[in-house]
Amino acid sequence: MHSSPDPVSIVSLETVIVDLPTIRAHKLAMATMHTQTLVILRLRCADGIEGIGEATTIGGLAYGDQSPESIRLTLDKYIAPLVTGADAASVNAVMARVDQSVQGNALAKSALETALLDAQGKRLGVPMHQLLGGAARLSLPVLWTLASGDSERDIAEARMLLEQRRHKVFKLKIGKRDPREDVAHVARIKAALGDAAELTVDVNQAWSEATAARCIPALEAAGVMLVEQPIARDNRRGMARLAQRFDVPMMADEAVHTPSDMFDYARDEAADVVALKIAKSGGPLGVLRTAAVADAAGIGCYGGTLLEGTIGSIASAHAFAACKRLEWGTELFGPLLLKDDVVVRRATVTDFALALPAGPGLGVEIDEDKLAHYSRDR
């Protein structure tokens, strides 16, 4: 007879907001970043095990409808009282309890689900991906985003990263400038790098459907291999028309968060590829549910980021490693955009890929001095 193990209760949740400088200005359609703000979650359990998680967005409220401050408030005031005393090992039960009383707030939920899985992996002595069914791959290709705002600088940056064998696929952030200037910028970079590099573009919803229809042929002619979220997240029918009209694959990002968003996109044939993000889907288990719908519909999966630091990026990496198909690689370069981080060993990319840490849980350890140093409460 099997006896079920004693429950391990959740004792406390602690949140820390850290502001970290970036290595250069990162210019996106909706925000220019000089720093990145991470919300770090520490979940302490009765058996002495601590799980860690991260919730990070881009540009305050510029990218999504949760800010670092609101994520922290949601975790401290609403989620902590709900989960304190619950069995930490029953990850799905804890998340179901939270879903019952907290609508939306996928980023806060993602930090919680990550911390629960980290704790459970440490408890069982297995890496997080094993709790997700095991890794289909132990290393993940990682692209780099060129977003200095200057073509020549972007070309020099790409050449250096190619030379270092760090990245060979580059995503260009466009949508901020006049569309003609953006298209010329993309064409200039592709012409300079030639076949040594593949290019994608992310418009971050900045174009109207008419502007997209006008610019995409020029992007195709320049050799762009993927166009990400060219138009507003709400304009699903517009995305379907663009996907139908052009050969270059259309990727949905801001438009697809949950499995049901993915289902609607699949039904309307509104995307060829989806940018999966643990932050949008409420955690590593959540993102695999979205991936399953994409997979069922033949929509390609891409491992996306909200420019998290090492904790959030490695949590994403465990989930993307467990995806059945990950045809479009990942963009888990967030830690490399930061001058510093709050962990002992930062994520690195070598030979164009990120290797999963082998330790239990996430396999990532907090650096207490750095966490205290960068904490906003210091």
Residues at the site binding Mg ion, with contacts judged by CB under 5 A: 202, 228, 253
Stretch that binds ligand MUC, among 2-10, 74-82, 207-215, 304-312 (CB under 6 A): 304-312
Supply the minimum distance, in Å, between the C-beta of residue 320 and ligand MUC: 14
Supply the minimum distance, in Å, between the C-beta of residue 101 and Mg ion: 30
Q: Interface residues for ligand MUC in 261-290 (CB under 6 A)?
A: 275
Bridge partners (DSSP) of residue 146 are 172
- Let me know: does 13 contact 43? Beta carbons within 8 Å: yes
- Residue 145 within binding range of ligand MUC, rule CB under 6 A: yes
Tokens encoding 237:
């029918």
What beta strand segments (E) does the chain contain?
10-27, 32-45, 50-56, 139-141, 144-146, 169-173, 198-202, 226-228, 250-252, 273-276, 300-303, 353-355
- Residue 74 within binding range of ligand MUC, rule CB under 6 A: no
Site string for ligand MUC, 222-261 (x = CB under 6 A): -------------------------------x--------
The interface partner of residue 316, options being ligand MUC, Mg ion, none and the CB cut-off 5 to 8 Å by kind, is none
The bridge status of strand 273-276 relative to strand 32-45 is unpaired
- DSSP at 367: -
Supply the minimum distance, in Å, between the C-beta of residue 201 and Mg ion: 10
Supply the minimum distance, in Å, between the C-beta of residue 109 and ligand MUC: 19
Closest CA to 137 of 376, 312, 356, 373: 356
The one-letter amino acid at 310? T
Give whole-number Cα distances, 132 to 117, 129, 137, 208, 356, in Å: 9, 5, 13, 39, 14
Q: Interface residues for ligand MUC in 190-219 (CB under 6 A)?
A: 202, 204
The interface partner of residue 361, options being ligand MUC, Mg ion, none and the CB cut-off 5 to 8 Å by kind, is none
Tell me which of 173, 176, 190, 280 is the catalytic residue. 173
What is the rounded (10 degree) CA torsion for 198, 203, 205, 211? -110
- Let me know: does 339 contact 20? Beta carbons within 8 Å: yes
* Identified binder of ligand MUC from the candidate list 16, 89, 189, 307, rule CB under 6 A: 307
Tell me which of 228, 254, 308, 331 is the catalytic residue. 331
Sheet holding 198-202, edge to edge: 144-146, 169-173, 198-202, 226-228, 250-252, 273-276, 300-303
* Identified binder of ligand MUC from the candidate list 308, 331, 347, 353, rule CB under 6 A: 331
For residue 289, the tally of other CB atoms under 10 A from its CB is 15
173 flagged as catalytic: yes
Q: Total residues contacting ligand MUC (rule CB under 6 A)?
A: 13
Site string for ligand MUC, 104-133 (x = CB under 6 A): ------------------------------
Supply the minimum distance, in Å, between the C-beta of residue 286 and ligand MUC: 18
Which of 120, 151 has the CB closer to ligand MUC?
A: 151
The residues of the shown chain that bind ligand MUC, judged by CB under 6 A, are: 28, 58, 145, 147, 173, 202, 204, 253, 275, 304-305, 307, 331
Catalytic residues: 173, 331
